[in-house]
A and B are shown apart, each in its own frame.
Chain A
Amino acid sequence: MGNEVTDVKKELPALTKEDFKSDQMVKWCPGCGDHAILSSFQKVLPELGVRKENVVVVSGIGCSSRFPYYVKTYGFHGIHGRAAALSSGVKISNPNLHVWMVTGDGDSLAIGGNHFIHVLRRNIDINILLFNNRIYGLTKGQYSPTTPTGRKTKSSPHGTIEHPFNVGELAIGAQGTFFARAVDTNPKMIIKVMHEAAKHKGTSLIEILQNCVIFYNNVHSAITSKETKGENQLHLIHGEPMIFGKNKDKGIMLKGTQLQAVHIGKYGVTEKDILVHDETTYDSGIHLMLAKMAPPTFPVALGVIRSVKNYTYEDKLESIIETEKEISSIKCVDDLLNSGKTWEI
């Protein structure tokens, strides 16, 4: 009984990016941020030490969710908002599978918001790539739950009057054990955090700030443009001080209960005053503040913001099943049918 899984102990064949390219034509718009993410993902997969037949890519609906068709693995393109539930079923059913879920700000934060918070809360070992372009692309330009207040879109001609979600804040609030952020213009960073996400036991969420050339071009340009990225990106590295700026002369300090961006060397601030990043601390206070940082007051925090240990849903379930199989007197359905009160006629 159970599911077929290739013996992982057998030697892994050497794989390359080509092993993960499907024969389907990639149909995203030229210049779309998705291309870089796909290419990075295809580079990462052969490096994970996972058998290609054990990889499953699951998605919901939206531009991002066409992703599985372009990756040569087992793939499931689901329905709108439900990728987290679909992935949960796959992973719980067979914990040996290596599950990646691809979704967007509309798919996971609006229609699929419920599944999104619950998969994080359950800490099922799924790696989620959430492409955040702050707009609905596939339905052609309506505002999403991450569109900044006031932004004029097709469905907000007077500017949105809604308060946007911050993905990291939501995820950490939902007890997410791993949250990282990357930008589509920096494939190196995407690859790095994908590796970290793959290593993490539990739900890993990577928010990728991604540009929609058609409906919200330059949405993240304050963070990604050549001129401003030095001042507006903070690359977090576990155990290292939070230093940023073109000249590496700025840092993040804790003042009272709040973070503050400061110049090193000015007003008596030295490198020793700068916060050292600890992605592993269970207390979510600093992680939440880091996730929420945004220009013009702060740089945007990139890299792994939070990576804490907790048991995964499927490991716990498997261990209960193993114990029950050992201790229960009901070993098969015949035992069950004949258990309890019965009588002969």
Chain B
Amino acid sequence: MTTKTQKVVELEDVVVRFAGDSGDGMQLTGSLFSDAAAIAGNDFATFPDYPSEIRAPQGTIAGVSGFQIHFGHKEIYTPGDTADVLFAMNPAPLKKNLMWVKPGGTIIVDTDTFTDKSLTKAEYTSNPLEDGSLKEYNVIKAPISTLTKKSVEDLGLDNKMILKSRNMFALGIMFFLFNRKFKTADEFFEQKFKSDPLLIESNKKILRAGYNFAETIEALNSITYIVEPAELKKGKYRNITGNVATAWGLLAAAERSGRQLFLGSYPITPASEILQELSKHKSLGAKVLQAEDEIAGIVSAIGASFAGSFAVTSTSGPGLSLKCEAIGLAVMTELPIVIVDVQRAGPSTGMPTKSEQSDLLQALFGRNGEAQVIVIAASSSSNCFYYAYEAAKLAMEHMTPVILLTDGCLANGSEVFRIPKVSELPSIKPPIVKANDTDYRPYKRDPEKLSRSWAIPGTLGLRHRIGGLEKENIFGNVSHDPENHQLMCEYRAEKVRRVANYIKPQDVIGPESGDLLVVSWGSTYGVMIEAVKEMQEQGKKVSLAHFHNINPLPKNTAEIFSKYKKIIVPELNLGQFVLYLRMYFQQFKFEQYNKIQGLPFMVKELVDKFNHLLDEK
């Protein structure tokens, strides 16, 4: 399609942000643009940024919805700090997103929407297109509303319908700019509007009108950009969000363990997609109970676990608070269960659509009594699949609750995912007791793992009673014996500690010793690795240890820490992992770097901080 005499510039990576009203279809535009990047073989990561309100008042800053995509020829770890290109459908999105545009970046606007009324709504006192405030950017002014109407005037569609398709005109402009093919978008229209050929035609026409219009824009100087395919490992790929990856990892674990999946869950932002996704897959035997509250979500899952299902509950921070007592019940009854906590900004209701890493201490310690659980954290949207799988494997093989931490960034963000084969995933072998096993005792333990075994109702010869009261060692009868209580508390704690014998040792990215070790966990992985790599390229002796196993920590943790002059722990909270590390490793000095704005770290601020720390004597 790039037949004209255009100049094509090659780029390593590009960040594009689409922004409009929450009814403008920005998420759809963004995802169609991602599909085109995928077909072109780019690596990419995306992040949707939308308000808590479903449809906040049109034209206001509160109602702005955005979608950012970072795609590249190089490996992409994050949705990107700042945008090379901002597409603003109205004044309000421009106002809200200008701070996220790179200096000198390109801004494309629909000039038709810059009326006095909408400028006022967006809290502008003067028109930014005319007052010189955008002079440092490459601003492309396009009468998109008018042109969209014009492009389909022969089809007899009503005005409202046409204006709803403005986003496809915008997509057309971006397709031109990045030399994209129409194929994936066309296929989408054909699928989506199967029953309405007119809409297929109009969307296709509008998309092409945007593309053709872009060719004529002077400001573009006939320059288009090309991002060569990334060097990804051979295989079959798809795009996946963290929540879907989590749900699919759980389904894979159910299949591999031979257990039926049961999810008990209550809707909560940003975890609801896990509930929705799993409820789709009844053909895989997954049973989903949308419970009456968070407590019933986990307690029904514990009941299902007792009855032999691979049981899961999914939630976010406030829901995890409500589940604390029940997690203790699962600790006491030593039943497998996975608790997925998609963290969001707290405390209390906090900022539901914003991401944060502030549930770590709650996950580690938020229960009455001595109640250790396994805590693991995913670090990318696509590896949510593998960590959900690992959570399931550890829960079922060690007979204990496991908390899997993800967060809003991972959950809603999407990434390229190389499709694995289920048969190639590690096996999952729960310790299920056979009928009439005369050696069975409810609290008899595996000598290595210290896990008890799983005697499932319906099995002959294994009738037994369990519950939240302290259990007598081996026999499981209720016991208030002082020494027995101490023994049982120690067994339960030691059982979780011994999980360290079954997990991968911690790895380090970069030299095995050096001046600075960056220690991080969770969704900050992408930005940490970009920052550390940038510093390594500058010749700095900086390495990254990004943790997935939080409790227990890998056995080589202290050894790693001992090899570096300085250690810094950046987190999106006020210092929770660092507090935990200080508790276990008092021999080391941990610097901390914290951000708690509901926003991810930016590479630049990390590099600045790390350099500053290196410069300190």
Asked if B285 and A94 sit within 8 Å, CB to CB, the answer is: no
Q: List CB contacts (< 8 Å) of B42-66 with chain A.
A: none
Asked if B167 is at the interface (CB within 8 A of a chain A CB), the reply is no
**With A53-B460, A333-B248, A342-B236 as contacts: A76 and B35 at CB distance below 8 Å:** no
Kindly provide the distance from the CB of B134 to the nearest chain A CB, expressed in whole angstroms: 37
Asked if B285 and A325 sit within 8 Å, CB to CB, the answer is: yes
Q: Which of B229, B296, B435, B459 contacts A82 (CB under 8 A)?
A: B296
Asked if A72 and B248 sit within 8 Å, CB to CB, the answer is: no
Asked if B421 is at the interface (CB within 8 A of a chain A CB), the reply is yes
Asked if B467 and A68 sit within 8 Å, CB to CB, the answer is: yes
Q: Which of A75, A90, A93 contacts B287 (CB under 8 A)?
A: A93
Kindly provide the distance from the CB of B281 to the nearest chain A CB, expressed in whole angstroms: 7
Asked if B284 and A93 sit within 8 Å, CB to CB, the answer is: no
Interface centre among A79, A325, A332 (most CB of B within 10 A): A79
Kindly provide the distance from the CB of B109 to the nearest chain A CB, expressed in whole angstroms: 31
**Residues of B contacting A320 with CB < 8 Å?**
282
Interface centre among A6, A90, A330 (most CB of B within 10 A): A90
Kindly provide the distance from the CB of A63 to the nearest chain B CB, expressed in whole angstroms: 14
Q: List CB contacts (< 8 Å) of B455-469 with chain A.
A: 456-469
**With A6-B458, A94-B308, A97-B307 as contacts: A76 and B465 at CB distance below 8 Å:** yes
- Mask, A90-130, CB within 8 Å of B = 1, is 11111011000000000000000011011000000000000
- Mask, B257-300, CB within 8 Å of A = 1, is 01110101000000000000000011111010101110110011
Asked if A92 and B262 sit within 8 Å, CB to CB, the answer is: yes
Cα-based distance from A1 to B284 in the complex (angstroms): 10
**Residues of A contacting B329 with CB < 8 Å?**
78-79
Asked if A333 and B251 sit within 8 Å, CB to CB, the answer is: yes
Cα-based distance from A58 to B468 in the complex (angstroms): 12
**Residues of A contacting B308 with CB < 8 Å?**
3-4, 93-94
Q: Which of B251, B302, B462 contacts A89 (CB under 8 A)?
A: B302
Asked if A74 and B457 sit within 8 Å, CB to CB, the answer is: yes
By beta carbon, the residue of chain B nearest A94 is B307
Asked if A89 and B262 sit within 8 Å, CB to CB, the answer is: yes
Cα-based distance from A86 to B335 in the complex (angstroms): 13
Interface centre among A5, A332, A341 (most CB of B within 10 A): A341
**Residues of A contacting B443 with CB < 8 Å?**
none
Asked if A177 is at the interface (CB within 8 A of a chain B CB), the reply is no
Kindly provide the distance from the CB of B595 to the nearest chain A CB, expressed in whole angstroms: 35
Q: Which of B238, B251, B307, B478 contacts A90 (CB under 8 A)?
A: B307
Asked if A340 is at the interface (CB within 8 A of a chain B CB), the reply is yes
Q: List CB contacts (< 8 Å) of A318-345 with chain B.
A: 320-321, 324-325, 327-328, 330-334, 336-338, 340-345
- Mask, B565-591, CB within 8 Å of A = 1, is 000000000000000000000000000
Asked if B377 is at the interface (CB within 8 A of a chain A CB), the reply is no
Q: List CB contacts (< 8 Å) of B384-433 with chain A.
A: 419-422
**Residues of A contacting B529 with CB < 8 Å?**
none
Asked if A68 and B420 sit within 8 Å, CB to CB, the answer is: no
Q: Which of B234, B237, B295, B460 contacts A6 (CB under 8 A)?
A: B460
Asked if A73 is at the interface (CB within 8 A of a chain B CB), the reply is yes
Asked if A2 is at the interface (CB within 8 A of a chain B CB), the reply is yes
By beta carbon, the residue of chain A nearest B255 is A333
Asked if A77 is at the interface (CB within 8 A of a chain B CB), the reply is yes
Asked if A325 and B283 sit within 8 Å, CB to CB, the answer is: yes
Interface centre among A54, A93, A117 (most CB of B within 10 A): A93
**With A3-B260, A5-B458, A343-B236 as contacts: A24 and B307 at CB distance below 8 Å:** no
Asked if A344 and B237 sit within 8 Å, CB to CB, the answer is: yes
Asked if A97 and B457 sit within 8 Å, CB to CB, the answer is: yes
Asked if B303 is at the interface (CB within 8 A of a chain A CB), the reply is yes
Asked if B86 is at the interface (CB within 8 A of a chain A CB), the reply is no
Kindly provide the distance from the CB of B172 to the nearest chain A CB, expressed in whole angstroms: 20
Asked if B38 is at the interface (CB within 8 A of a chain A CB), the reply is yes
Asked if B303 and A342 sit within 8 Å, CB to CB, the answer is: no
Cα-based distance from A161 to B456 in the complex (angstroms): 46
Q: Which of B238, B458, B463 contacts A342 (CB under 8 A)?
A: B238
Cα-based distance from A345 to B44 in the complex (angstroms): 14
Q: Which of A87, A340, A345 contacts B234 (CB under 8 A)?
A: A345
By beta carbon, the residue of chain A nearest B258 is A1
Cα-based distance from A93 to B309 in the complex (angstroms): 6
Asked if A114 and B296 sit within 8 Å, CB to CB, the answer is: yes
Asked if B422 and A115 sit within 8 Å, CB to CB, the answer is: no
Q: Which of B232, B326, B478 contacts A69 (CB under 8 A)?
A: B478
**Residues of A contacting B468 with CB < 8 Å?**
61, 77-79
Asked if A76 and B303 sit within 8 Å, CB to CB, the answer is: yes
**With A76-B303, A93-B309, A334-B421 as contacts: A341 and B239 at CB distance below 8 Å:** yes
Interface size on A, residues (CB 8 A): 65
Asked if A88 is at the interface (CB within 8 A of a chain B CB), the reply is yes
Kindly provide the distance from the CB of A19 to the nearest chain B CB, expressed in whole angstroms: 10
Cα-based distance from A51 to B462 in the complex (angstroms): 13
Kindly provide the distance from the CB of A6 to the nearest chain B CB, expressed in whole angstroms: 6
Interface centre among A94, A117, A333, A336 (most CB of B within 10 A): A333
Cα-based distance from A92 to B306 in the complex (angstroms): 12
**Residues of A contacting B617 with CB < 8 Å?**
none
Asked if B39 and A343 sit within 8 Å, CB to CB, the answer is: yes
**With A78-B299, A88-B289, A114-B292 as contacts: A332 and B422 at CB distance below 8 Å:** yes
Asked if B281 and A336 sit within 8 Å, CB to CB, the answer is: yes
Asked if B477 is at the interface (CB within 8 A of a chain A CB), the reply is yes
Asked if A317 is at the interface (CB within 8 A of a chain B CB), the reply is yes
Asked if B248 and A90 sit within 8 Å, CB to CB, the answer is: no
Cα-based distance from A87 to B300 in the complex (angstroms): 7
Asked if B336 is at the interface (CB within 8 A of a chain A CB), the reply is no
Asked if A52 is at the interface (CB within 8 A of a chain B CB), the reply is yes
Q: Which of B264, B284, B299, B460 contacts A79 (CB under 8 A)?
A: B299
Cα-based distance from A69 to B442 in the complex (angstroms): 13
- Mask, B303-343, CB within 8 Å of A = 1, is 11111110100000000000001101100010000000000
Kindly provide the distance from the CB of A151 to the nearest chain B CB, expressed in whole angstroms: 29
**Residues of A contacting B299 with CB < 8 Å?**
78-79, 82, 85-86, 89, 115
Q: List CB contacts (< 8 Å) of B238-254 with chain A.
A: 238-239, 248, 251-252, 254
**With A94-B457, A342-B237 as contacts: A89 and B300 at CB distance below 8 Å:** yes
Asked if A22 is at the interface (CB within 8 A of a chain B CB), the reply is yes
Asked if A171 is at the interface (CB within 8 A of a chain B CB), the reply is no
Asked if A56 is at the interface (CB within 8 A of a chain B CB), the reply is yes
Asked if B260 and A331 sit within 8 Å, CB to CB, the answer is: no
Asked if B233 is at the interface (CB within 8 A of a chain A CB), the reply is yes
Kindly provide the distance from the CB of B238 to the nearest chain A CB, expressed in whole angstroms: 5
Cα-based distance from A324 to B285 in the complex (angstroms): 9
Asked if A88 and B296 sit within 8 Å, CB to CB, the answer is: yes
Cα-based distance from A89 to B310 in the complex (angstroms): 11
By beta carbon, the residue of chain A nearest B475 is A23
Asked if B301 is at the interface (CB within 8 A of a chain A CB), the reply is yes
- Mask, B441-463, CB within 8 Å of A = 1, is 00000000000000011111111
Cα-based distance from A69 to B299 in the complex (angstroms): 20
Q: Which of A86, A89, A330 contacts B284 (CB under 8 A)?
A: A330
**Residues of B contacting A92 with CB < 8 Å?**
262, 287, 289, 300, 304
Asked if B419 and A93 sit within 8 Å, CB to CB, the answer is: no
Asked if B260 and A1 sit within 8 Å, CB to CB, the answer is: yes
Asked if B197 is at the interface (CB within 8 A of a chain A CB), the reply is no
**Residues of B contacting A331 with CB < 8 Å?**
283
Asked if A334 and B303 sit within 8 Å, CB to CB, the answer is: no
Asked if B292 and A338 sit within 8 Å, CB to CB, the answer is: no
Cα-based distance from A333 to B295 in the complex (angstroms): 29
Provide 26 A-B residue pairs closer than 8 Å at the C-beta atoms, listed in order of the A residue: A3-B260, A4-B456, A6-B460, A61-B468, A69-B477, A69-B478, A75-B463, A77-B469, A79-B325, A79-B326, A82-B296, A88-B289, A89-B305, A89-B307, A90-B304, A91-B303, A93-B307, A114-B296, A331-B283, A336-B284, A337-B252, A337-B422, A341-B184, A342-B237, A343-B237, A345-B234
User: What are the 3 closest A-B residue pairs judged by CB atoms, nearest first?
Assistant: A89-B303, A77-B467, A328-B283
A interface residues (Cβ-Cβ under 8 A, vs B): 1-6, 22, 24, 51-54, 56, 58-59, 61, 68-69, 72-79, 82, 84-94, 96-97, 114-115, 117-118, 317, 320-321, 324-325, 327-328, 330-334, 336-338, 340-345
